[in-house]
Amino acid sequence: MKILVTGGAGFIGSNLIRKLVERGEKVISLDNYSTGKYENLDGVDCEQIAGDVTRVTDVHSAMKGCEVVFHLAASKKTVCQKSPWRDMEVNAGGALIVAQAARELGVKKVVHASTGSVYGEVAGWISESTATRPVSYYGVSKLAGERYMDMYWTQFGLDVTILRYFHVYGPWQDSSHIGGVVAIFIDNLLHGRKSTVYWDGYQTRSFTYVEDVVWANIAALEQTGGVFNVASAERIPVSYVIEKAAMMIGVEPNYRTTGLRIEGDIHDFNITNDRIKGIGIKFTKFDEGLAKTIEWYGSR
Catalytic residue among 119, 137, 138, 169: 138
Mean pLDDT (the chain, rounded): 94
Kindly tell me if the per-residue pLDDT of 176 is higher than 90.
no
Correct CATH for 170-205+234-298 of 3.40.50.280, 3.90.25.10, 1.10.3720.10, 3.90.650.10: 3.90.25.10
Q: Residue 28 has what pLDDT? A: 98
Q: CATH topology for 2-167+207-230? A: Rossmann fold (3.40.50)
Interior angle at CA 158, CA 114 and CA 275, nearest 5: 45
Kindly tell me if the per-residue pLDDT of 80 is higher than 80.
no
Domain residue limits, the chain: 2-167+207-230, 170-205+234-298
pTM: 0.95
Q: Residue 162 has what pLDDT? A: 98
Strand ranges, E, within 83-235: 109-115, 160-165, 168-169, 195-197, 204-205, 208-209, 227-230
114 in Cβ contact with 128 (< 8 Å): no
Percent of the chain with pLDDT over 90: 85
Kindly tell me if the per-residue pLDDT of 15 is higher than 80.
yes
pLDDT in tens, 203-237: 999 999 999 999 999 999 999 999 999 999 999 99
Question: What is the side-by-side order of every strand in the sheet holding 47-50?
Answer: 47-50, 26-31, 2-6, 68-71, 109-115, 160-165, 227-230
Residues for the chain: how many in total?
300
Distance, in Å, from the CA atom of 91 to the CA atom of 88, rounded to the nearest integer, reads 5
* Annotated catalytic residue 209: no
Q: Residue 266 has what pLDDT? A: 79
- CA–chain centroid gap for 249, Å, is 26
pLDDT in tens, 253-281: 999 998 777 766 778 889 999 999 999 99
Q: Residue 41 has what pLDDT? A: 97
Distance, in Å, from the CA atom of 261 to the CA atom of 272, rounded to the nearest integer, reads 25
Distance, in Å, from the CA atom of 145 to the CA atom of 257, rounded to the nearest integer, reads 34
- For residue 5, the cross-strand partners are 29, 70
Q: What values do phi and psi take at 196, rounded to 5?
A: -105, 125
Kindly tell me if the per-residue pLDDT of 23 is higher than 80.
yes
Distance, in Å, from the CA atom of 279 to the CA atom of 299, rounded to the nearest integer, reads 34
Q: Residue 264 has what pLDDT? A: 66
